Amino acid sequence: MIQHDIIIIGGGLSGLRAALEAQRSGKSVAIISKVYPIRSHSGAAQGGINAAIGSDDSWEKHAFDTIKGSDYLADQDAVQVLCKDAPDTINELDTLGCNFSRDSNGNLAQRPFGGAAYPRTCYAGDRTGHNILHTLYEQVMRYGIKIYSEWLVTKLVIEDGQCVGCIAMNLLDSELEIFQSKVTIMATGGYGRIYARSTNALINTGFGISLAYHAGAELKDMEFVQFHPTTLWDTNILITEGARGEGGYLLNSENKRFMEKYAKDSMELAPRDIVARAIQQEINEGHGFEGDYVYLDLTHLGKDVINKKLPGIREISRNFADIDPIENPIPVQPGQHYSMGGICCDVNGKTKVPGLYAVGECACISVHGANRLGGNSLLETVVFGKRAGIDAAKFVDENTFSPTEQKLVEVLNDVKNDIQDIMDMDIDSSGSGSGSSSSNNESFAHLKDEVRSLMQEHVGIFRNEKGLKVALSKILELKEKSIRLNVVNMSKQYNLELVNTIELKGMIDLAHVITLSALSRTESRGSHYRTDHNKRDDNEWLKHTLVTKDEHGAPTIDYKNAVILDVMPETREY
């Protein structure tokens, strides 16, 4: 058994920032990460991080843009916290050595981003997440925080309603271990790989969110799934919003800047939900190239601007599309990018389960509402990661509950039995043996492809009742099939087939929750667009969706009013 005061599951930006702050409070802190921390998906964030540090900008203006961009579903008290803390957060990162880009006077450079009235996005070229990730990782190493790299957390341990730790599997040898803690912080990222087209890394299965769901936490606003407008055609690698922020144009097959039809004032810098729908609409109407992409044209920016401000985009385009954006436009299409919904928690990361916190993309603090503005996600990870670390340390000081060893061992044995069912055989210490050949068994690969195709086709940018019901019915069938999942690979060393099989069950659970939530919300708001209910309905739907698991294991929906302070809903025009 391994013991720490605070265990953080996930080694990305939010996890690292929470760990750093908790360690500064004098607590025993450890990070459990499925991959080496600097390989976390946070490093893929390109465009920038928002903060109102310009002389003509203010946190109030930042908050207004965030709330308006959210289609008025963001909780305004939480948004105020985010935007007030932003300038100090940037200054702290700068002091720690983050390599932010500068203007000619040596001040932090800021670029325009979609949905923002001011150029408030600080950036480090087009590798902003990469730079912040390495900066925080250096600090975690400086403080000597223990990191368990390449471990998969398989279950949270709940005793008397409180989270007291987790069970994790060492990928090196598939051995299970008990991790006991007074606080567990989920920082496991999003669930992009539930969709066929996603900018997310392969590790982003949403399994951490499903662990919290099965532990009794509420999932909030899961129907709101953001599709980034510009992902590289076919591979769906992210092409940063910063490319449009620097002046890139979107062109259809008629060589026209079509955004004038959809957002005549802001054009390519409208919020992401609007731009993504516009691109998909152009494609659906036959105005795309080869049927399923449009062009992002940077050629007019010139070689110097592209090499200085968008070098990563040039490298990606050349390596993965054999296109040099200095000379030719980039083929792009929308792809799943971000999850506004997640584990329901407050501004300090607390969930309804004592001892369980959540931060980052796996969490839903409701600062993004129905649509996230670019540049706010990196900000969220650092602002609320810090707050969660501080509050978790206080919880440790105030918490006197001690788990029983019997409960910890009981959950460990449950996990062992679950894995044994997947392996469907006895495995000796050498890992030898052969799997079952039963024709009733299911492979993870086939089921995973099915769920991803279903979500892409029926729970994507455009949705309707008929398609959502088709998806829901087939997801329930996949749930039944997932009971019979087994693996062929009997190796104990880095058995990724076993990892994928374990995580697939969580992916199907999340697909179920997302689809059910989308079917229940009979309006269009932000990223959730229903062709059969294509208007926003503030009278009925200015509220959050909450989903919990009932005693039979089925999702149950409830609702909670959005927090409205001084920004009243109005028509969202750009």
Strand pairing partners for 555? 549
| HSE, side-chain direction, 13 A CA sphere, residue 403 | 29
pLDDT (0 to 100) of residue 441:
78
Contact in structure between 396 and 6 (CB atoms under 8 Å) = yes
pLDDT (0 to 100) of residue 184:
98
Share of the chain above pLDDT 90, in %: 91
Cβ burial of 154 (10 Å; 0-12, 13-18, 19+) is buried
The C-alpha atoms of residue 109 and residue 242 are separated, in whole angstroms, by: 13
Res. 235: pLDDT tops 60: yes
One-letter amino acid of 527: S
Res. 550: pLDDT tops 70: yes
pLDDT band at 551 (very low <50, low <70, confident <90, very high): confident
Mean pLDDT of 541-563: 96
What mean pLDDT, rounded, does the chain reach?
94
Walk me through the domains of the chain, giving residue ranges and CATH numbers.
225-337 (3.90.700.10)
The residue among 468, 462, 385 whose CA lies nearest residue 225 is 462
Number of CB atoms found within 10 A of residue 537's CB:
13
Annotated catalytic residue: which of 120, 127, 244, 272? 272
Share of the chain above pLDDT 70, in %: 97
The residue among 105, 116, 112 whose CA lies nearest residue 83 is 116
pLDDT (0 to 100) of residue 571:
83
Mean pLDDT of 78-92: 98
pLDDT (0 to 100) of residue 55:
87
DSSP string, 490-502: --SSS-HHHHHHH
pLDDT (0 to 100) of residue 440:
65
For the question of residue 272 being annotated catalytic, the response is: yes
280-339 tens-digit pLDDT? 999 999 999 987 999 999 999 999 999 999 999 999 999 999 999 999 999 999 999 999
pLDDT (0 to 100) of residue 553:
87
The C-alpha atoms of residue 297 and residue 301 are separated, in whole angstroms, by: 9
50-78 tens-digit pLDDT? 999 988 999 999 999 999 999 999 999 99
378-421 tens-digit pLDDT? 999 999 999 999 999 999 999 888 888 899 999 999 999 999 98
pLDDT (0 to 100) of residue 43:
93
Where are the alpha helices (H) located in 221-368, listed in sequence order? Answer: 242-245, 272-284, 303-309, 311-321
Mean pLDDT of 190-203: 96
433-449 tens-digit pLDDT? 444 445 567 889 999 99
pTM across the whole model: 0.94
pLDDT (0 to 100) of residue 425:
45
Mean pLDDT of 173-179: 96
pLDDT band at 225 (very low <50, low <70, confident <90, very high): very high
In what helix (H) or strand (E) does residue 505 lie, and over which residues does it extend? helix 496-520
